[in-house]
Amino acid sequence: MLRRHFNLAVCSIALAPHAVLASNKRGPMFWFATRGKARVFLMAIADAKADDESWFTPAIRQAFNDSSELWMEVAPPDASAGLDAETKAKADAEYQKLRHEPTGRTFFDELEPAVRQRVLTYMEELKIKKETLEPLRPWAAFYAINGAYWSRTKVNYEPVYIDQLLWKQAADSGKTIGYEMSAGVAFAQFMAAMPQKAQSQYIEFLLSSFDDRKKGLGGDAFDWQVGSPNGSLRSLDRMRKQTPDLYKIMQVQRNTWWAHKIDALLNTDKNHFIAMGHMHVLGPDGIPNQLQRLHIVKPAEFHENPSYPS
């Protein structure tokens, strides 16, 4: 279910097959790694209902409380609240520059012909004007199209964004907070640097998610809370097969980065809590499998353990 972002705002530690991942576990997918005195907790997250904290199980809550540091994919807007006016203005200007195509190029120039036609069809359906998307780079147009879709797709609940909730709790309790991308500009730089083919596939992936919903294949938006993200497994498999350039960047490259980050965190004597978009802990190139493939952890050091602490 794509609401705000692509799990940035983006698959078992024990190398279990997908059938095991889809078992009826209580609570989200959750693991921890150990090395010496260090522990790294890894929790898969998505969006939840504002009146439902069932995802914050006693085990996950205690792991969060036991950790001195929270790690996230992208810093939320509140993280830049302390910037001085000049620094903030420069960052905002750079972000806007990275959102827009350079002179002489348009959003539609970046798309493969088949994707361009699909976009035009959805633009008509969603009442999106051409001039709205034309100056944008595909990664920025992704959010404009996604926003238009959800503005016309009503839900009967108020969403809560768990990454922001955990960030606030960490900030209020004085935890150190680390990021894969430490500001909106860093996120924009990463997205804008994607090759043209991957940019086009990013839009293709979004439109395919809309198509799935029309066919009733979107899955349960909250199945991740019981450790059974079947809809995301389907989306991830489609990304791997149909949009391989996007998959390489979003899954293989980023999950490898996180595997090395976990290795570095395990060389400390502290506890660290990672809140990770659940697609990044799934599939053959998910973080758990990367940790095994890169020989960063041994099986005895990395546990799927929703009952922590035992």
Q: What distance lies between CA 13 and its chain's CA centroid?
A: 18
Q: Which two tokens stand for residue 142?
A: 């992704």
Model confidence, pTM: 0.89
Q: Among residues 36, 18, 23, 25, which one has the least CA distance to residue 59?
A: 25
Q: For 168-202, b where at least 16 C-beta lie within 10 A, e where not — what string? A: eebeeeebebebbbebbbbbbebbbebeeebbbbb
* SS3 of 140-166: HHHHHHHHHHHHCCCCCCCEEEHHHHH
pLDDT along the chain (310 residues), means of 10: 43 27 62 94 92 91 96 87 83 94 96 98 97 97 96 86 94 96 91 96 97 86 87 92 97 97 97 96 94 90 74
Distance CA 179, CA 80 (A): 13
Q: What is the pLDDT of residue 284?
A: 94
Q: Among residues 142, 111, 201, which one has the least CA distance to residue 2?
A: 142
In which element (H, E) is residue 181 found?
strand 176-181
* Cβ 158 vs Cβ 206: under 8 Å: no
Distance CA 113, CA 110 (A): 9
Phi-psi bin for 201: left (phi > 0), alpha (psi -120 to 50), beta? alpha
